[in-house]
Amino acid sequence: MISDETRPRPAPRAVWREVDSEAIIVLPDQGQFKVLNAVGGRVWQLADGTRTVTQIAQSICAEYDVAADIALRDVRAFIEALVTKGALIIGEK
């Protein structure tokens, strides 16, 4: 489980585009791609290595109609899933 104080950022070889409000991510090393919906795309935007998981959840809480504890839980789980898939990485640059 990742810490809420980690600052996730895109994997170096990930390629993505924002299309309308969604995001499409290609992971060349895995030969796969992911499509993120509007909220997922927003988390992806925010996960640029400058914000902690907590700060990302706070932004989602402020922008969408969702309670703070649920936002943190869902954002944490979503980021963990993207880290597991190799789309996001954590750790020092």
Contacting positions for other proteins (CB under 8 A): 13-15, 17, 19-22, 24, 26-28, 31-33, 35
Torsion of CA 23, 55, 59, 24, to 10 degrees: 0
For other proteins, give the closer residue by CB, 25 or 56.
25
- Neighbouring residues of 20: CB distance < 8 A, sequence distance ≥ 6: none
For other proteins, give the closer residue by CB, 2 or 24.
24
Least distance to other proteins, CB of residue 12, Å: 9
The one-letter code for the residue type at 73 is R
Least distance to other proteins, CB of residue 85, Å: 14
- Cα of 35 vs its chain's centroid, Å: 12
